[in-house]
Structure 1
Amino acid sequence: MNKFDDHATKSLLDKDLITENQYKEITAYRNLNIFSLNAELKLFLYLSVLLFTSGIGILIYKNIDSIGHVAILSILLIIIGVCFYYCFKNSKGFQKTETVFESPILEYLVLAANILTCIFIGYLQFQYKPFGTHYGLATLIPTLVSFFCAYYFDNKSVLTIAITGTAAYIGLSVTPQDLLHNDFYSNPNLSYSAIILGGLFILYTIYSLRINLKTHFNIIYLTFALHLISIASISNLVDDYNDDGIWMLFGLLLAGSSYYFYKVSHETKAMSLYVFMIIYAYIGLNIFLFRIFQFIDFSDIWELFVFILPAYFIGSIVLFIKLIKKFNKETAE
């Protein structure tokens, strides 16, 4: 039993939340060092879904001329139909609160069926163009299907696909790596759309808490909102077209966003939100200071500035570590 678990259990005993006998039983059980393979098995199931869907895509790509479009679409439709039939037959139906299924296979069959649905609609639009030139519909329809499946089957992986599709529908890529390559500089409206979408995600989490609708999904919405708002704000901080002072508004927006996610990360005890919030706030602060320093003449004290700079970065690393330790301590209590 590690020291953290022992300390947490001891704190429960000190607060009279468990009895001395219960404490001894818990300690004896943990000393057996029994561990679960649940996470490992779920990982293999997830990888099997990804490999299967990837294999379908490769099969289509390499044999598109020999198999034929109608045959490929028919096979995809049959597989999707079988997956959804099994899922609907064995699911508990829609529930407002978190739903736990007896078999983990159901969760990954929903994911497989959803990914194949996206492939089917995308391939259908590419080959036969049933939506004409309205290519957004080819993104919107799988997105709506994904939202339905995510809430009906209580599937977080499918919800991620749905949120990604929502962002793609308005022209955004919502992974951090892709966001950095979005065309924010030549098209500032794109960054405004990212900020608005992130704000809408935050408002939805507040609304879902009020009506108690799948509140465990909120961490996903908040994660996307954090990345969208923070990266879009940082993009506008470094952009040259904001030299008239508008960039300061985005600095304030980033500061407000960081404060909000600081509070939310403590309320939800979400380490991922807290870490990314610190990183984005640190980057934004440095860019903000750099733009302020552009108006200051350092010709006389530049040697002092160069001397202080290494200490500043070392101090930042030490402060980051202390903040993480403090967060762990606060959330563990």
Structure 2
Amino acid sequence: MDNINKTLFEQKHISKQQFAFFESIRKEEIISLYYELRILLYIGILLFTGGVSYLIYENIGSLGHILMMLLLSGLIFTGFYYINKFANPYAHNLVTVKLAYFDYLLILVSLLIIGLFTYIQVYFELVAALASWSSYLSASLFFFMAYRYDNRALLAMGITALAAALGFTISPIDWKANTWVSTNYTHLIAILLGVSLFVSGYLSEKENIKPHFKFTYQNFGLITFYLGCLSGIFYTDLDKTYALLALTSGVIMSIHTWKIKAFLFFLYSNISAYIAFSYLFFELISNTSDGYILLIYYFPCTCIGYIVFLVKKKSHFAHE
């Protein structure tokens, strides 16, 4: 239907003012700045915490360590005062708060707590003693804040901190040094963590305990699982086993996500299965005399074919 607004207006489902408003949106005379403002607010939080850290660094001699820790504590307590003032009681379902900047205040206070905790570790020389526990404590804090105040951004931060605590980290420095996998078991940890997160998302919906957290859990779960499988291909002697695991799971999840019309998860599964299949295919033809000819045409043909497939089938995921 070309203009559903007009149809709704003619059937008297919306008023004249609503019709004019919806038409302005359809014609892009009115645009939403919701995501742009959210990004600016998140950048503001990062700049604020960075500025506080820089202030501490530059003035530590004149202000004193204890005074700076008291200052951070005061900011945290002030933040918690406003959080508890506007927060609603815990509930298993979605909880909304009338304060527009509530989510950003939550993230700011959480980051300040981590900053204070790190400060205390360094000042009292507890870094070595708490090195293996600091990430777990950070993850615990983020998970508690996420569930208590119903915040998916803090849930994502908690999952990230948990992955770091388990040793599954990726950074540009690791890429430059070619040390993506720090231990022989990192890929296994990633696979198990990915499965656990995916199952946690399923259980959160089934048990109706924060069911809206399902996407965040399963999004991180799939990414972590596939990265674990792919790292197993390139960093272990069981390359073909992990390739088959990635290919099989990718195909199964592609079929499932196609049925439920989950485009993002469908894309993850396709990419993982494609990499695994390509690796097995290259291994199969590597010893053939004319194998290089297939390699010349393989990537262009498969990539173009996949893009054409997505373009033709985009209507299948239209609701997304």
Q: TM-score normalized by structure 2?
A: 0.84
Deviation at 1:50, TM superposition (A): 1.4
1:59-114 superposed Cα distances (whole Å, 9 cap, x missing partner): 22333333222111111111111111111110112121122222221110000001
Q: Aligned-pair distance for 1:264?
A: 5.7
Cα displacement (A) at 1:266: 4.3
Confirm whether residue 123 of structure 1 aligns to residue 98 of structure 2. no
CA distance in 2, matches of 1:9, 1:200: 43
CA distance in 2, matches of 1:88, 1:138: 26
> Counterparts of 1:101-112 in structure 2 under 5 Å?
101-112=97-108
Provide the residue aligned with 2:155 in structure 1. 159
Q: Deviations over 1:204-250 (max 9, x none)?
A: 112112111222222222222222221221122123x41xxx32221
Which range moved further: 140-149 or 65-74? 65-74
**Pair 1:146 & 2:161 matched:** no
Q: Deviations over 1:240-281 (max 9, x none)?
A: x41xxx322211221233235425644665433333332232
Conservation of the 8 A alpha-carbon contact between 1:205 and 1:221: yes
Provide the C-alpha distance between the structure 2 equivalents of 1:178 and 1:155, rounded to a whole number of angstroms: 31
**2:119 corresponds to 1:133:** no
CA distance in 2, matches of 1:271, 1:178: 32
Q: CA deviation at 1:186?
A: 6.3
In structure 1, the partner of 2:198 is 202
Q: Note the 1:178-197 alignment, pairs <5 A.
A: 183=179, 187-197=183-193
Shift, 1:190, TM fit: 1.3
The residue type equivalent to 1:247 in the other structure is: D
1:278 aligns with 2:270: yes
Q: For the residues of structure 1 that align with 2:178 and 2:206, how far apart are their CA atoms?
A: 34
Distance of aligned partners of 1:186 and 1:116 in 2 relative to their CA distance in 1, 3 Å threshold? closer
SS in 1 for 2:168: coil
**Which range moves more in the overlay, 80-89 or 178-187?**
178-187
Counterpart-to-counterpart distance in 1, 2:178 and 2:118 = 22
1:133 counterpart SS class? helix
Match of 1:229 in 2: 225
What residue number does 1:332 align with?
A: 318
| 1:38 paired residue among 34, 39, 42 | 34
Asked if residue 85 in structure 1 is aligned to residue 81 in structure 2, the reply is yes
After TM superposition, the structure 1 stretch with the greater mean CA deviation from structure 2, 89-98 or 269-278, is: 269-278
SS in 2 for 1:31: helix
1:297 aligned residue: 288
Shift of 1:115: 0.9
Instruction: Kindly tell me the number of residue pairs found equivalent between the two proteins.
Output: 312
| RMSD over equivalenced CA pairs, Å | 3.1
Query: Which residue does 1:113 correspond to in 2?
Result: 109
Indicate conservation of the 8 Å contact 1:201/1:222, yes or no. yes
Structure 2 unaligned regions, length at least 5: none
% same residue = 24
1:169 matches 2:158: no
One-letter code of the match for 2:273? A
- Distance in 2, matches of 1:257 and 1:70, equals 53
1:99 corresponds, among 95, 98, 102, to 95
Q: Secondary structure of 2:24's match? A: coil
Shift of 1:168: 1.2
Distance 1:75 1:137, change over 3 A: same
Q: TM-score, normalised by structure 1?
A: 0.81
CA deviations on 1:138-187 (whole Å, 9 max, x unpaired) are 22222111101111111111111111111111112168x68867846562
Greater relative contact order (Cα 8 A, min sep 6): structure 1 or 2? 1
**1:312 Cα deviation from its structure 2 partner:** 2.6
Question: Structure 2 CA distance, aligned partners of 1:94 and 1:266?
Answer: 35
Report the equivalent of 1:254.
246
Given that residues 198 and 228 in structure 1 are in contact (C-alpha distance below 8 angstroms), is that contact kept between their aligned partners in structure 2? Answer: yes
Equivalent residue letter for 2:110: N
SS at match of 1:36: coil
Residue matched to 1:3: none
Q: CA offset at residue 21 of structure 1?
A: 4.3
Distance in 2, matches of 1:309 and 1:150, equals: 48
The residue number in structure 1 matching 2:215 is 219
Q: Does 1:68 align with 2:59?
A: no
- Mapped to 1, the partners of 2:2 and 2:91 lie a distance apart of 37
Greater displacement, 247-256 / 193-202 = 247-256
Q: Distance in 1 between matches of 2:260 and 2:115?
A: 35
Q: What is the Cα deviation at residue 7 of structure 1?
A: 5.3
User: Quick one: distance in 2 between partners of 1:121 and 1:327?
Assistant: 50
Distance 1:224 1:128 in 2: 35
